[in-house]
Amino acid sequence: MIAQIEQHIKQGHYEQALSLLPKLEQAFADHAEMRWAIQSLQRDLESHNQNTLDTLHGLKQVLVG
């Protein structure tokens, strides 16, 4: 799912990437740090921030540990 989000971001399809976030949030509902990272990603996607890929990479780092 993260790979799909990344592809959408690279293609500039922020709305499609946003549509996947609820599923990601549900998968990590009990992980506070991941929820924070997902919320940051959501804010970047909503504002079409050019640093969105950096935020996504940060989310991956949280996931990997």
Digit-coded pLDDT (tens) for 6-43? 999 999 999 999 999 999 999 999 999 999 999 999 99
Residue 44 has pLDDT above 90, yes or no: yes
The pLDDT score that the predictor gives to residue 65 is: 79
SS (H, E, C) 9-51: HHCCCHHHHHHHHHHHHHHCCCCHHHHHHHHHHHHHHHCCCCC
The pLDDT score that the predictor gives to residue 17 is: 97
Q: Is the pTM here over 0.75, yes or no?
A: yes
